[in-house]
Structure 1
């Protein structure tokens, strides 16, 4: 039997950590191992981790950021397969069994699965991510500049030998975080991707009530676009040096463009909204119109919602931004 390690990288998430560890230990796949890497937490995380004793492999390291924790884990893993579970998320009991069934049937570099979106207290909101299923050859899409639809970190199982062709990655500055970017897209450059078309875990969204703009748990609005551009450039350098793959200078991704769109037009004046839409929306509109993963219906719907930002009535514009960016806002509208 192939063994799998569920790696939980934690930093100051004592309120959610036990739930994440318990979900990893509750897997019905007999060959599941659990590794918890605490990245220098200053809360009560260490005491929680120590209560599990030998049921888990516990590593306590100096704080270095999420990328540092991934680098460390990938270097020391002894299994060929791994799931990187965020310490505020959970896996359902059959998650490992489901992904290992697919790994057994093909030479997949990554198996991804949907995640149910939860609010901050762990209640399912009726949404899930991602909404689109990519083709197996996501590497071809990346070589054309398109970031493929992927769940967040916790919805991915990897072949570790593939990850080691990409990691370690630089840990400095703004690149302390976003390690899952390199795992998700780097893995696709090393082999094909398989998808389990159902939710096998829960993804927690913090502070995402329906009256605020939320990009799930990503960086603040003014940091997200800059961080994505930096990560793409680093991935390009890694792909060129280690994989002999040339990626284009620019990439296309609706999630990234959505962050720019929302930060530019949310609660902005009518003049500022029109100016951005007329001058700066080319990349945003391109990731809608040319999106290789979306249906025509979804493209038209997103374009129509985006167009509401040109109306003089600012509450309507802000509603459109919240609806596009925030799954909780969508749930409230659907329930009316």
Structure 2
């Protein structure tokens, strides 16, 4: 039986760490190993990890950021497959069994699956990510600059040999975070991607309040566009040197453009909203109209919602932005 490691990279998440480790140990696939990389936590994380004894492989290191933790974990892996589970997320008991069914009958570089969205207390919200499924050969679209729909870090299982074609990733300077970006998109250039059409874990959203427009846990909305552009540049260099693949200078991704849209439009004046939509919305609209992963219905719906940002009534405009930006807002509306 082929082995898979669940690698949990943790930094100061003692509140959630036990749930993550317990979910990894509860897998019904017998050949599952559990590794915890602690990135120099200063809370009670180390004591929690040590409490599991030999049931988990504990790798402690000095604080260096998420990229450093991924580099360390990948260099230490001795299994053929791995899932990187964020220390505030959980996996359902059949997660490893489900992804191994794909790996055992194909040459997949990555098997991805949906994650149910949880709030800060672990209560399911009724939302899940992602809402679109990529084609198996999404690497071809990636070569044209299109970032394919992927779940967050915890919803991806990788062939380790594919990861090692991309990692280690430079970890100095501002590139401390976003390790999952390089794993998710870099691996797609090494082989085909498979999708399990159901949820196999829970994704915790810490800013799930109804007033927020941000959906990403890791970065503030205004910082996301700059961070993505930096990572794309680094990924371009990595795959050029290691894989001999030339990626375009810029990428296309609705999630990225959505962040720019929201930070520019939300709670802005009517003049500012119209000015942005008329003069600066080209890339945003292009990632809707030309999106190769979306249905016509989804494209039209997003365009209609986006147009509501031009109405004089600012509460309606702000609601439209929240609806586009945050899937949790959509669930709240449906429950009324």
TM-score normalised by length of structure 1: 0.99
Task: Answer whether contact 1:208 1:216 (CA < 8 A) is retained.
Answer: no
Q: Which residue of 1 aligns with 2:319?
A: 319
Give matches, 1:61-210, under 5 Å: 61-210=61-210
Aligned to 1:174, what secondary structure does the other structure show?
coil
Task: Answer whether contact 1:120 1:205 (CA < 8 A) is retained.
Answer: yes
Q: CA RMSD in A?
A: 0.7
Q: Which residue of 1 aligns with 2:256?
A: 256
Shift of 1:221: 1.8
Shift of 1:216: 2.7
Q: Which residue of 2 aligns with 1:35?
A: 35
Task: Answer whether contact 1:116 1:126 (CA < 8 A) is retained.
Answer: yes
Distance 1:131 1:268 in 2: 28
Higher deviation after alignment, 323-332 or 176-185: 323-332
Unaligned 5+ residue runs, structure 1?
none
Q: Which residue of 2 aligns with 1:211?
A: 211
Distance 2:270 2:47 in 1: 52
Aligned to 1:249, what secondary structure does the other structure show?
coil
Q: Which residue of 1 aligns with 2:226?
A: 226
Q: Which residue of 1 aligns with 2:288?
A: 288
Task: Answer whether contact 1:216 1:326 (CA < 8 A) is retained.
Answer: no
Task: Answer whether contact 2:266 2:321 (CA < 8 A) is retained.
Answer: yes
> Deviations 1:64-118 (Å, cap 9, x if unpaired)?
0000000011111000100000000000000000000100010000000000011
Aligned to 1:302, what secondary structure does the other structure show?
helix
Shift of 1:138: 1.2
Shift of 1:174: 2.5
Distance 1:186 1:152 in 2: 14
Give matches, 1:12-31, under 5 Å: 12-31=12-31
Q: Which residue of 2 aligns with 1:4?
A: 4
Distance 2:181 2:113 in 1: 16
Unaligned 5+ residue runs, structure 2?
none
Aligned to 1:208, what secondary structure does the other structure show?
coil
Q: Which residue of 1 aligns with 2:274?
A: 274
Task: Answer whether contact 1:215 1:259 (CA < 8 A) is retained.
Answer: no
Task: Answer whether contact 1:218 1:224 (CA < 8 A) is retained.
Answer: no
Distance 1:139 1:239 in 2: 12
Distance 1:212 1:2 in 2: 43
Give matches, 1:291-310, under 5 Å: 291-310=291-310
Aligned to 2:190, what secondary structure does the other structure show?
coil
Shift of 1:209: 1.0
Aligned to 1:283, what secondary structure does the other structure show?
helix
Q: Which residue of 1 aligns with 2:242?
A: 242
Shift of 1:215: 2.1
Task: Answer whether contact 1:132 1:294 (CA < 8 A) is retained.
Answer: yes
- Displaced runs of 4 or more, over 3 A: none
Aligned to 1:113, what secondary structure does the other structure show?
strand
Task: Answer whether contact 2:207 2:215 (CA < 8 A) is retained.
Answer: no
Aligned to 2:116, what secondary structure does the other structure show?
strand
- Work out the number of aligned pairs and report it: 336
Distance 1:160 1:243 in 2: 16
Shift of 1:172: 2.0
Distance 1:301 1:175 in 2: 36
TM-score normalised by length of structure 2: 0.99
